[in-house]
Amino acid sequence: MFMALKSPKKIGSLSKGSVHIVQGKVVAEKEVVIPGTSISCAAYWMMTEAWKRPARGKGRKMWIPVDVKQSNPGFFVEDSTGRVWIEHNDDALDIRKGREEGGRLGKKETSRFIARTIKNGDIIKIKGTIDNSNNKEVKDILVIRPDKKGLISIILKKRA
């Protein structure tokens, strides 16, 4: 059965302790760089593949996934009613939607990467549990943390 997503709530009307969807502009005070590239962004998910033979060493070479990395140092999402902090949690941010980046890595270009990024100024729709900030985060601001599934989900992403 298909369930429609709830429409996003305005940041100024969020209530602590419940799961909400928020839509707004990404404002990142600290950006990260995708390893092996010069691409900077607010958060990313990256898969690296290598051009090599399968595990048993027989057959022809092919692209084989070797590593998956993800980074989210935390960023703000803001709309006309306020700001909310997206928790710093590399493992929780689920970037199913996002700008696709890709290219070759290394001097011999025997590996490549595919990455989904969230960049400063992008408009995103994000889902998570609303909570108060703690001592490690921005004071006096609401924070989006993982939901019961352990995820902060990017539902929609538009370029700035």
Q: pTM, whole model, 2 decimals?
A: 0.82
Is 17 within a domain? yes
Tokens of 67: 């590593």
Looking at the domain assignment, is residue 6 inside a domain? no
Which residues make beta-bridge pairs with 94? Answer: 153
Q: 3 lies in a domain?
A: no
Based on the number of CB atoms within 10 Å of its own CB, is 105 exposed (0-12), middle (13-18) or buried (19 or more)? middle
Asked, for residue 115, whether it belongs to a domain, the answer is: yes
Could you tell me how many helices (H) and strands (E) the chain has, helices first? 0, 13
The domain of 50 spans: 11-158
Note down pLDDT in tens along the chain; length 160 residues.
Answer: 444 456 788 888 888 888 889 999 999 999 999 998 899 999 999 999 988 888 776 788 888 899 999 999 999 999 999 999 998 888 888 887 766 888 888 777 788 999 999 999 999 999 999 988 877 777 778 888 898 888 888 887 777 6
Number of domains in the chain: 1
